Amino acid sequence: MKVNILAFGIAKDIFGGPAIDVELFNDATVFNLKFLLEKQYPQLKKLATYMVAVNNEYALDGDTVHERDEIAIIPPVSGG
């Protein structure tokens, strides 16, 4: 399945744009997604940490992602 990943902050710089498409096997987890992204974009690993949001909620590594989910990479936040 193809999933669309939104990127914000420094993740946008790392991906070279506000969104990318990646090819994932069905029933892939957030962990699988992060593994794939870190292979394609090694700079992601240089972040102290980053989170993945699925449908506007922070997701855990074990959560499954689905084709039409809204997925976003959330680097360390700095609002306020």
- Smallest distance, Å, CB 47 to another protein? 8
DSSP string, 36-72: HHHHH-GGGGGSS--EEEETTEE--TT-B--TT--EE
Gap between the Cα atoms of 62 and 80, Å rounded: 30
17 near another protein, judged by CB under 8 A: no
Pick the stretch among 27-35, 37-45, 59-67, 69-77 that binds another protein (CB under 8 A). Answer: 69-77
Note the residues at the interface with another protein (CB under 8 A). Answer: 6, 8-10, 12-13, 47-49, 53, 56-58, 72, 74-80
